[in-house]
Structure 1
Amino acid sequence: MERISQESQEGQASQERHERLTFRLDPELTPAFLDELTRLWADVSNAGGAIGFAGTVTYEEVRPETDRYAESLAAGRHRLLAGLDAAGRLRATAFLGFNTHRLQGHWAWLTTVMIDPSLQRGGHGRALLDAAEEHARALGLEALKLTCRGGLGLEHFYASCGYKEVGRVPGGLRVSADDYRDDIMMWLPLH
Structure 2
Amino acid sequence: MIHEETPEFLQITSREELSPDLRRELIECWVAVTNAGGAAGFPFPPVDFDQVAVVADQIIAGLAPQRSRLLLACVGGTLAGWLNVRRDANPLIAHWGTVHHVQTHTGFRGRGIGAALMHHLRRLACDEMGLEQLHLAARGGVGLEDFYGRLGWKEIGRWSSALRLKPGDDRDEILMVLEL
Within 5 Å, give how 1:85-104 maps onto structure 2: 85-86=75-76, 88-104=77-93
Q: CA RMSD in A?
A: 1.8
Normalising by the residue count of structure 2, what TM-score does the alignment of the two structures yield? 0.90
CA contact (8 A) 1:78 1:95 kept: yes
Q: Which amino acid in the other structure matches residue 29 of structure 1? A: L
Task: Establish whether residue 160 from structure 1 lines up as the match of residue 146 from structure 2.
Answer: no
How many correspondences in the alignment? 175
Q: CA–CA distance in 2 between the matches of 1:178 and 1:61?
A: 26
Within 5 Å, give how 1:37-116 maps onto structure 2: 37-54=26-43, 55-73=45-63, 77-86=67-76, 88-116=77-105
Q: Which residue of 2 aligns with 1:4?
A: none
Question: Which of the two has higher C-alpha Rg?
Answer: 1
Structure 2 stretches of 5 or more lacking a match? none
Q: CA–CA distance in 2 between the matches of 1:25 and 1:116?
A: 17
Distance apart, 1:113 and its partner CA: 0.6
Q: Which of 141, 165, 169 matches 1:179?
A: 169
Identity %: 36
Distance apart, 1:73 and its partner CA: 1.0
Distance apart, 1:178 and its partner CA: 3.4
Q: Which of 111, 121, 124 matches 1:122?
A: 111
Distance apart, 1:31 and its partner CA: 2.0
Q: Which of 11, 29, 32 matches 1:25?
A: 11
Distance apart, 1:29 and its partner CA: 1.3
Worse overlay, 44-53 or 128-137: 44-53
CA contact (8 A) 2:141 2:171 kept: yes
Q: Which amino acid in the other structure matches residue 124 of structure 2? A: H
User: Would the alpha carbon gap of residues 158 and 98 (structure 1) be closer, same or farther in structure 2, given more than 3 Å must change?
Assistant: same
Following superposition, which runs of at least 4 residues in structure 1 exceed 6 angstroms of deviation?
none
Distance apart, 1:75 and its partner CA: 8.5
CA contact (8 A) 1:18 1:119 kept: no
Structure 1 stretches of 5 or more lacking a match? 1-13
Normalising by the residue count of structure 1, what TM-score does the alignment of the two structures yield? 0.85
Q: CA–CA distance in 1 between the matches of 2:11 and 2:153?
A: 22
Q: Which residue of 1 aligns with 2:124?
A: 135
Q: Which amino acid in the other structure matches residue 8 of structure 2? A: T
Looking at secondary structure, tell me which structure has more helix per residue: 1
Q: CA–CA distance in 2 between the matches of 1:40 and 1:58?
A: 11
